[in-house]
């Protein structure tokens, strides 16, 4: 068994224009000061990280890893959640998702997609230069507007959407394979890969690609009322990244899973700071240890109620408390009698 690495923190929800959140070095000091040992870097945050430079310059990557090591930190993974989203965008969301891309491709879905594919290629190369073996991303979505079958979907619509999604991602997965890096898709509502069934539909269409894997985040399964512990058992061999994020689901007589278009504060299903929700993290970390998960436990902080600084401060000790230092021997080794085939036969009555 392997001991999970951590605690770590995803910087996306904290990066900003004000110190200490406006440069990689200062935000690293902030993270280390809270007790984190790893940082997951949002590659679209130019104030923190130059993705194109990292893809081409080993010196730049070595400088980053060296600077972080001096603070007791490591890069856990790079993230391309925003760029990965743009690999596949349904036209209904064009205007909203244009904001994830440079202005020169706004209003031009084909150019935007090409830019996103290029970004993914850079991320594969940058991850390799940083010595990483996993990468966090979104897959995008073409079928999501049709997730509820009313009006009845035309025959083959979902199948065609997944065929196209796989066609777009297969070359990207091949690039990641060339660089020795897994793509861990965050299984997430709003993405075509939002549960186990849809992940399997995609995986089949990319030929079981070895680099098509999962970022496991139980909070999204709480909101869908999916068994997040059974999910680990089913997909343990494909889980390559882990977001430690809490959530709760408290339905009422007025609102349920779909949330009634309400704000996050008022929705029955909402994200919470670690320890404030309903996720059974003791069971999750136990399964991760038993399954030899060798990656990082990364806080993704999102909460409709608590201040982010408080959530970040509470997150590191919460994760550290749940990480299981795995045993090197069985607890009852002291009582072991050694191997004795003759004794075994006598005990079974077949001597």
Confidence label for 330 from pLDDT (cuts 50, 70 and 90):
low
Q: What is the pLDDT of residue 333?
A: 63
* Predicted model pTM: 0.94
pLDDT computed for residue 109 by the predictor: 98
Give the Cα separation of 150 and 155 in Å (integer).
13
* Structural domain boundaries in the chain: 5-347
List b or e across 260-296, with b for residues whose CB sees 16 or more CB atoms inside 10 angstroms.
eeeeeeebbbbbbbbebbebebeebbebbbeeebebb
* pLDDT tens, residue by residue, 92-106: 999 999 999 999 999
pLDDT tens readout for residues 237-282: 999 999 999 999 999 999 999 999 999 999 999 999 999 999 999 9
pLDDT tens-digit series, residues 162-210: 999 999 999 999 999 999 999 999 999 999 999 999 999 999 999 999 9
5-347: CATH architecture: Alpha-Beta Barrel (3.20)
Mean model confidence pLDDT for the chain: 96
Q: Is the pLDDT of residue 336 over 80?
A: no
For residue 74, pLDDT over 90 is answered with yes
How far, in Å, CA of 215 to CA of 137, rounded? Answer: 8
Region 28-42: mean pLDDT is 98
């Amino acid at each position: 068994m392997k001991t999970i690495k951590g605690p770590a923190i995803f910087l996306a929800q904290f990066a900003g224009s004000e110190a200490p959140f406006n440069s990689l070095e200062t935000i690293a000091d902030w993270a280390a000061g809270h007790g984190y040992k790893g940082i997951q870097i949002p590659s679209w945050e130019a104030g923190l990280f130059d993705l194109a430079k990292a893809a081409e310059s080993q010196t730049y990557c070595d400088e980053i890893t060296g600077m972080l090591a001096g603070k007791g930190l490591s890069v856990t993974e790079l993230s391309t959640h925003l760029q990965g989203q743009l690999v596949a965008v349904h036209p209904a969301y064009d205007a909203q998702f244009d904001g994830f891309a440079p202005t020169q491709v706004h209003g031009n879905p084909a150019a935007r997609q090409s830019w996103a594919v290029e970004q993914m290629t850079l991320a594969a190369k940058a991850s390799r230069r940083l010595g990483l073996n996993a990468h966090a991303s979104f897959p995008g979505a073409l079928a999501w507007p049709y997730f509820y079958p009313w009006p009845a979907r035309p025959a083959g619509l979902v199948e065609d959407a997944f065929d196209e999604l796989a066609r777009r991602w297969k070359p990207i997965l091949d690039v990641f394979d060339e660089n020795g890096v897994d793509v861990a898709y965050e299984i997430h509502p709003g993405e075509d890969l939002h549960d186990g069934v849809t992940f399997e539909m995609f995986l089949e269409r990319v030929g079981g690609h070895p680099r098509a894997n999962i970022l496991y985040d139980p909070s999204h399964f709480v909101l869908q009322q999916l068994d997040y512990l059974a999910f680990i058992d089913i997909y343990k061999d494909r889980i390559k990244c882990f977001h430690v994020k809490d959530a709760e689901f408290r339905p009422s007589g007025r609102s349920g899973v779909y949330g009634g278009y309400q704000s996050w504060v008022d929705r029955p299903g909402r994200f919470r700071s670690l320890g404030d929700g309903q996720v059974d993290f003791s069971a999750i970390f136990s399964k991760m240890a038993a399954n030899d998960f060798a990656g990082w436990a990364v806080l993704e902080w999102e909460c409709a109620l608590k201040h982010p600084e408080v959530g970040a401060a509470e997150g590191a000790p919460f994760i550290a408390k749940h990480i299981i230092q795995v045993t090197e021997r069985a607890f009852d080794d002291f009582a072991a009698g050694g191997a004795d085939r003759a004794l075994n036969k006598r005990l079974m009555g077949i001597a």
